[in-house]
Structures are given as structure tokens and as C-alpha cells.
Amino acid sequence: MSEACERTVGSAKPQLDTALTRLVGVRHPVVQTGMGWVAGPRLVGAVAEAGGLGILASATMSYPELAAAIKETRERTAAPFGVNLRADATDAADRVELLIKERVAVASFALAPRAEMIARLKDAGVVVIPSVGAARHAEKVAAWGADAVIVQGGEGGGHTGGVATTLLLPSVVDAVDIPVIAAGGFFDGRGLAAALAYGAAGVAMGTRFLLTRESTVPDAVKRRYLESKLDGTVVTTRVDGLPHRVLRTELVDGLERAGKVRGLARAVANAARFRGLTGLSWPALIREGLAMRHGRDLSWAQVLMAANTPMLLRAGLVGGRTDAGVLASGQVVGMLDDLPSCAELITGVVDQAVEILARLAATTAVEHR
């Protein structure tokens, strides 16, 4: 049997013991990513109770909402969980102090946190796990003291890169000496076994956890996801100027077809529609869009779309507007046709991976006789 498979004392089934489970103190090397508008206390609590690492999405929460979400998650589970932070948020330092005060186990980041932010969290005993899209980014945050990294291949949903997980993952594993968590294209035990074979310490899944019974995404939207095929997603820069993998919807198709003038008109209309939900003034909305440019040369349409992208996501993932919202999704959506509970999902993934690893180990032993 693989070295990753060890029988837990008093348990009837072997479990997967990896650098991730030891680092964070969870039972299973399975992570639920911090998806905006999706990863709230109900989903995160269910994942934690099932033995995985659930991560709250704080980028779409105000500071008081994050504090309340941490409290509610604590009421749902005593197991470790994490919070995803936006390193460039104006109140990022305050949120870091909140995680420390509330003794949150893990801080994850979509953008690389500053070295001093990593140091502050680590000094307080918080495990720091940034997400990266290239080996050089992993090397940088590892040098700054990050405890582990999540590496997402181009198959993943939301903001993503162009390199497939099968190439990106081994390049990062070879580059750093800290645990690497694989994301992008994972949904079952075969993927977990493959990731471990590549040298990863576990897998992170977003779309698969979005399509669970504990996910608060409206049922009609879940059905829209389940109807999608392997070619049902598209990587577009028309949403906010960054490569963004989303479901093909009427809104996204319209953005893809629109020229500059029409694109600007559509962006203004969308900004006006969703501005009321945020309470932001037009100047504040534009400032938010400019802040999200990340050094890229964006059109004014893209600046406006960048500013209200969270609200476009909210329209679909909370409001159920498949016609007017953006639905972030990994390509894996084309492989999914059910809505398991988080416990059923995690148990099934781990059991299948253990079986595969044991079978491969037995095959190797036979061949060497």
C-alpha cells in the first residue's frame, strides 16, 4: 500500500495521511476553495465536519459580515477551517488581526500576500496557504515563509491561467519544498490519487463543492451547471480584463460578441444595475475597477466590469439570474451529474483514492516478484 495510506487507530478504513493533513490537522487531504458568494458558513462547516478543509470566502464580505461568518462557522464545527483573504483589500490588515483573534486555522490568499503579512500570521500560529499560478510565484511565497501553496491549472474556474494542471503541478512540486495542493480539474478519487502521484499533498475543489447539497447556490443555477458539457465553459477577458473561466451564458456570449462601443454601453448598464446593491457611488465604483487592473491595460468597459464583477457573480450565484449573472466554473462541470452531501463527496473521493493507490501498490509488488 502507498506510504500515503495509513490505517487510523480504531478505524475500519485506511485514511490518507499527507503533509496537508498533518499541517492543518484535518482528516482528509481535500480542500474546498474560497468561492465568492458560495463558500459561506453552511458549506464550510459541512466540509470541516466531513474531515476536509473548508475555506470561507471573505472577498465578498464586509468586515462585520466576515466576523459574523467566522462565529457562525465556529457554531457549526469545532474542526479546523480557513478564510480566504484579498491581500490588496484596504482593510486587509484588520482582517488578518481578526483571523488571529478568532484563532482561525488557515489563511488563504488569491493574490500573493506581502512578506510582512505572512510573518504576522505565522507568528500567531495561523497556517498561510497562498494560491499561485506559476512555479516562480510559488518560489517567491515559499521564500517569504508560506506554509503551503494551492496551484490551479487552466481547467479551474474563476480567474485562471493557461497552463494545464498536469504540467503546472509537477513544475511547482519540483520548485518548492513546502506542501503543494493541486486545483483545477479535480472531482473524484482518481484525481486525488493522480495528484498524490505527482507529489501533491492533496487536492482543492471549487465547482465540485458548489454542486453539493449544502451549497447555498439556488437550485435553478445548480441545474444550469449540471446541464453543462465539457465544452460548456469559456475563458474570457471581457468580464474584468483578466482571464476568467465561466459558464457560457447569454451575458457572457454578449460580452464576447460586443465591440468596444457596445461593450462599454453594456458595462455601464450592468454597473448601473448592480450599483444599487453595493451602495457605491460612480466615482467609488470606478476607483474599485481601477484598483483591480493589476497593471493591465484595461478598456473603460473592462474597468467598469472589473468594479462590478462581484455583483455579476452575486446575481447568478445568490440571485439565481442565469441570464444576467456571471457563473464561474471549472471545466470539470461537464463531468458532474449529481448533488452529493459534502460528507458523501469527501468520503467517496478518499475511499476511491485509497482503493486505487492500494491496487497500484499491489500491481507493482507483483511485477517485482
pLDDT confidence of residue 10: 42
Cell numbers that stand for 173 in this block: 512540486
What CATH code would you report for 5-217+337-367?
A: 3.20.20.70
Block means of pLDDT (10 residues each) for the chain, 369 residues, are 47 80 98 97 98 96 95 98 91 96 97 94 98 96 98 96 97 98 98 98 98 97 97 89 89 77 62 53 62 59 67 86 88 98 98 97 74
76 touches 42 (CB < 8 A): yes
What values do phi and psi take at 197, rounded to 5? -65, -35
pTM of the model: 0.88
pLDDT confidence of residue 288: 61
pLDDT confidence of residue 1: 42
Cell numbers that stand for 281 in this block: 457611488
Pairing of strands 5-7, 14-16: antiparallel
363 burial (CB, 10 Å; 0-12 / 13-18 / 19+) is exposed
Cα separation, 54 vs 274, in Å, equals: 29
pLDDT confidence of residue 197: 98
**What are the residue ranges spanned by the domains of the chain?**
5-217+337-367, 229-328
pLDDT confidence of residue 255: 76
Convert 183-192 to b/e letters by CB count within 10 Å (16 or more is b). bbbbbbbebb
